[in-house]
Amino acid sequence: MTISARVHYAALAMAELAARQDDIAPVSIREITDRHGVPGPFLVQILRTLRAAGLVESIRGSHGGYRLAADASTLTLLDIAEAMGCQENGCRTEATPTPADEMLQEIWREAAEASRDVLASKRLIDMVDQVKHGDSSMFYI
């Protein structure tokens, strides 16, 4: 499974929304871009995709923005990746499969499954809690 910049930025945006889920005001695109350096037009596309997947909701108006529509305590990074269209990348050849080709296909399948397992084990709320308590050097929210 390849984690694209699109998936990475979606996870950052979702983490920001989860970190601020108790705020009354929705989170604006500008706040996310300023804090995480995500290009604005790219973030707009990402948030549209997340909204279509039912993970965020948008609030219109001059004081509008975005909020989580899903429960951060059950939402995983795999959910976000799949909402962004991240699929397993099977490496198939057009040639007649040889024993070596079949062995490699099995290894690629195992690698993709391991990636899915790791992403499925990482809940959004846990990531946010680690960042809030300074337990993570990976993300800054």
Give the CATH number of the domain where residue 13 resides. Answer: 1.10.10.10
* pLDDT of residue 93 exceeding 50: yes
Residue 111 lies in a domain: no
106 three-class SS = helix
Using CA atoms, how far apart are residues 62 and 39, in angstroms rounded to an integer? 21
Residue 30 lies in a domain: yes
Number of domains in the chain: 1
Residue 54 lies in a domain: yes
Residue 61 lies in a domain: yes
Q: Domain span at residue 60?
A: 5-87+123-132
Using CA atoms, how far apart are residues 55 and 74, in angstroms rounded to an integer? 11
Residue 97 lies in a domain: no
The CA-to-CA distance between both ends of the chain, in Å, stands at 25
- Report the predicted TM-score, pTM, of the whole model to 2 decimal places: 0.82
Q: How confident is the model at residue 136 (pLDDT cuts 50, 70, 90)?
A: very low
Residue 25 lies in a domain: yes
